[in-house]
Structure formats: structure tokens, C-alpha cells
Amino acid sequence: MYAKVMLGLLGSAVLAFPVLAETVTIAPDRMLTAGEKRVFVLGLYENPTDDAVLQQVAEAGFNLVQAKADAAALDRLKQHGLYAWINVGAAIDFSEDQPADPAKAGTTNQRQLQSLADSCGAHPALLAWEVPDEALWNCWYGPMRWRTELEPKEQSLKFDALDAALVTQLKADQAEVQRLWNRGDYAAAEELANGIWRKMNMDPPNPGLNVSESAQKAATMCAGMREGYAFLKRIDPRHPIWMNHAPRNQKAQLAAFNEAADIVGCDIYPVTEYQGGHSGLADRSLSTVGAHTTYMQDAAPGKPVWMVIQGFGWPDIEEKPTAESRAKNKRPTFDESRFMAYDAIVHGARGLLYWGTAYIEKDSDLWRDLLKLVRELADLQPVLSAPDAALTVSVSLAETWGTCDRDVQILTKDVGGKIWIIVANESPDCLHYTLDGLTGLEGTLYGDSKAAREARVLDGKLRLAIEGHGVQVLEPRSGK
């Protein structure tokens, strides 16, 4: 039994891929293969309760939706022709696993994973398991937020009821905590912060939230997750395990955690451009999506990278957004969303998953834009899931006024012997570019109707102009 997803390739025959895949594998070129069909993942973190909205999701071309570990939830997605992924939660971390009832086999976490595999692992809609979100980053984020943001505020709220002389001393202690923190003397800063609570005759509320211990906690969790990964792979070798990171942490840290996954990636939400601090890299522009894709790939050589893309505006997830925040932090436009998607693709992403749509209205411009964009990407499924072309192509730029520190990125795809070229301009300026090395494509006419661009390969070169943060999907229209 097969559910058909419409994947028109610019006028070519409609294709279908099977939803009822018995085994999900990863091809040598990092593309997911389900039911003997290569699949570029177009995922959604939101699982709409409204069937009409879920039908919109399926019709737009999404092929993967996050689901609870529930047979009915999986049945519902299958009925809409959608795959599912399930988060296994803390059960994957064996670092603090406890023995189960002596009368029962296995530890607590082993039994939890076995239960998940037994109840959902054989379901035809299941595509992948997921480990806890941003597991590595959360080893650092909780302690950092407590010690640098929440703790000083909570302490200061207690000062009004204290003797003035004591308050003066405590404020001096807080200043010293900040000085120690700035010097990197984290353990000393944390001990002094705990002392402030004791001077107020209170126990420190979160004595275990220590940045000085984060590295060791991360190492312990990493080892535990690798054990859990090995166990889950033994009991269910048919489904890959996916790990999403924050746009943070060093490559060595990421690489260690990535041993506990088959597919990796990170979430990165840069709109409104330059105003947020979500990117952990120097590039805070839209092109940070591509930069983080490469960063993730470097930390997981040979593994697929799925990137989690922005499906919201920052005020949408604020508890009490102000008018100023809404005016300053706009939602992504269609062009921004389109660029971010293709920027990840040209940097080698094998899937895109959208987060934050649960916080936006289903009659909003952003929701309609995302449905439109995913429809475009789904129509290109035969291109996006095709093998990369065996070409070595160089990119050069014509002289212009800018520094061009962010420039034109390309990806070539071999679609049944036809070479397609996907181009993304990471610069905000229009650039004139030349592709050199198009061996065997002499005379081929390339064009992109959406970008209204067309050029022919001459002397092994293709010359075109592309708008700032522009995208071109160059189809071979004639010739080889």
C-alpha cells in the first residue's frame, strides 16, 4: 500500500514515494532512503490537531511530522501520507540509569526504550527516533542562565527585607561574583553566590546548577547517550536516530555527542537579520544558516545533516511581546525563508525541518509563505534527493564595490544524467558570477523561470547575475 505525494518536476511525470517503508537507511552520500526511494526530508515540528491544517501540511509537500509515541497519532499521520519521528526523551541517556524491578529484565531506561520499540518501532509511519533536543547545549545553558541572569535577580528581590548594612555587604558580594565570573573563575563565583544565600539564612535554591561542572556533566551525559544509542540500535536497527543541537558549542564537543546519532543538525533562527544573538558564529546574517550547516557537517563527517529552520518571529514566542518588539523583530518574509532553505541545501543539508509554526496563526502570511515554499521544494524532490554531480566547479565573481566576504554558493545535482545547478547568493548585494569546470556541458542552455535568468555554457563556463540573497535553480533546458 502506497500513499502518493505529488512531486511534479517542472512538467515531468508525477512521482510517488512509499510511506510504508519497512526499513529506513542512509545512502553513502548521506541521503535518507525509505522503501528503496531517496527522500529529501521536509519536516514540521508542529503536529496540528486540526485535520484540515494537517491536510494543508500534507498537500504542501511536507513528508515528516513530529509525533507522540502513540499508535493512534502514527495512524493519523499515515492516513495523511506522512512519516513521523518520535523523541525518546531521557530514556536514551544511560548515565544515571537505574536497575528496574529485580523480577523484570533490563534497567529502567532499557525497558523504556524497549517499550517504545515494541509499541511504535514496527509502525509503517515511523521514519526516525529523536534524542532530547539540544542535549549538549542544555548542559551549559541552564547553569549559565541561573548563575548570570536569574540568581542575581532573585537575590536582589530579597534585599528589601534585610538590614541596610547587610544589604551593602551582599551587593558588594554580588559585584565580586560578577568580577570572578568575568575572569572565568566560575567555581569561586558560584561558591560566593551560594554564600550570599546563606548570609540571608537561606539554602541556595539551585546549588547543582554550576557552569564549573558543565563540561563534566556533558561528558557524563555523552557517554550515557552513546550507551543508549547502541542499545536502541540493537533492538531497532531499522530506523535512524536524529540529534538536534543548538547553534552553539565547539566542534569537538558536538562530534562526541554525534556518536550517539545517525543524523545530526541544529536549529538556527536569524530573522530579524543582525538583531538577534541566536547564531553562535560570527555571521549573524541570513547566511548563518549555511554557515551552521557546514559547521554541523564538520562535526559529523559522513552523516546526514538536517537543519531546523525558522517558522516564527521572535515576538511570537515571547511571554509578553511589546509593540516595540513586534515592530523590531519581524517575521521572516517569503524571500528570507526561501533563501535560508536553499542556503542550507547548497551547504549540503539533506533535510529541512521547521520549528515555531505552532505559535503563528494559520491564516498568517508566514504560514502561507511556508506552505508555498515547501510546495516548491517538494516539487523539486527528484532534484534535491538526487546524487550530487561528480563535477569540480569553481566560482569567480566580477569586480564590484563590496568585500564579497559572503559570496555565491552552488550545488550540482545529477538527475538521471541531467546536471542541475542550485545557486544561493549569501551577499546582500547583486553579484555577477562565473561557474567554471562544467565539463561535458558545452552548449547547454540553463534557465530559472522564477529568477528570470538564462545562460548557455560556453568554453566550459556559465555566466549569470544573481540578486542579493537570491536563489537560482538552474534547469538544463537544452543540450547535454
Q: Is the pLDDT at 337 greater than 50, yes or no?
A: yes
pLDDT at 8: 33
Domain ranges of the chain: 24-135+216-384, 394-478
248-293: pLDDT as tens digits: 999 999 999 999 999 999 999 999 988 777 999 999 999 999 999 9
CATH 2.60.40.1180 fits 394-478, yes or no: yes
Write down the residue that cell numbers 530506523 correspond to: 239
Helix axes 51-60, 365-379, angle to 10 degrees: 40
Q: Which of 462, 466, 473, 465 is nearest to 420 (CA)?
A: 473
Q: Residue 71 carries which side chain, given as an amino acid letter?
A: A
Q: Is the pLDDT at 149 greater than 70, yes or no?
A: yes
pLDDT at 61: 98
Cis peptide before 107 (omega within 30 of 0): no
Q: Which of 284, 341, 288 is nearest to 311 (CA)?
A: 341
DSSP class per residue in 256-273: HHHTT-SEEEEEE--PST
Q: Is the pLDDT at 443 greater than 90, yes or no?
A: yes
pLDDT at 479: 65
Q: Is the pLDDT at 16 greater than 50, yes or no?
A: no
pLDDT at 411: 98
pLDDT at 14: 30
Q: Is the pLDDT at 238 greater than 60, yes or no?
A: yes
Residue 477, Cα to own-chain centre: how many angstroms?
34
Q: Return mean pLDDT, the chain.
A: 92
The rounded distance, in Å, linking the Cα atoms of 463 and 186 is 55
What is the average pLDDT across 451-464? Answer: 96
Alpha-carbon dihedral of residues 308, 313, 318, 322, nearest 10 degrees? 170
Write down the residue that cell numbers 506522512 correspond to: 82
**Any idea what the Cα angle at residue 393 is, between residues 391 and 399, rounded to 5°?**
170
Range name among 144-148, 208-212, 401-405, 423-427 with the lowest pLDDT average: 401-405
**Any idea what the Cα angle at residue 168 is, between residues 162 and 172, rounded to 5°?**
125
CATH superfamily, domain at 24-135+216-384: Glycosidases (3.20.20.80)
CB atoms within 10 A of CB 328: 12
Q: Residue 271 carries which side chain, given as an amino acid letter?
A: V
282-330: pLDDT as tens digits: 999 999 999 999 999 999 999 999 999 999 999 999 999 999 999 889 9
373-404: pLDDT as tens digits: 999 999 999 999 999 999 999 999 999 999 99
- Do 141 and 210 contact (CB within 8 A), yes or no? no
Q: Is the pLDDT at 19 greater than 70, yes or no?
A: no
**Cα separation values, 297 from 30, 344, 407, 471, Å:** 11, 11, 20, 22
Q: Give the model's confidence band at 38: pLDDT under 50 very low, under 70 low, under 90 confident, else very high.
A: very high
**Would you state the cell numbers that stand for residue 362, as one nine-digit string?**
494559520
The rounded distance, in Å, linking the Cα atoms of 138 and 132 is 10
pLDDT at 104: 65
Q: Which of 137, 146, 145 is nearest to 280 (CA)?
A: 137
Residue, of 47 and 5, whose pLDDT is higher: 47
Find the helix or strand (DSSP H, E) in which 244 lies. strand 241-245
pLDDT at 475: 97
The rounded distance, in Å, linking the Cα atoms of 8 and 249 is 40
The rounded distance, in Å, linking the Cα atoms of 330 and 413 is 34
160-190: pLDDT as tens digits: 999 999 999 999 999 999 999 999 999 999 9
**Would you state the cell numbers that stand for residue 252, as one nine-digit string?**
569537538
**Would you state the cell numbers that stand for residue 147, as one nine-digit string?**
548563575
pLDDT at 101: 65
- Do 431 and 466 contact (CB within 8 A), yes or no? yes
**Cα separation values, 322 from 318, 325, 367, 424, Å:** 9, 5, 22, 34
Q: Is the pLDDT at 461 greater than 50, yes or no?
A: yes
Alpha-carbon dihedral of residues 149, 154, 160, 165, nearest 10 degrees? -70
User: What phi, psi does 265 have (nearest 5°)?
Assistant: 170, -170
Write down the residue that cell numbers 568585500 correspond to: 403
**pTM, two decimal places:** 0.92
92-107: pLDDT as tens digits: 999 988 776 666 667 9
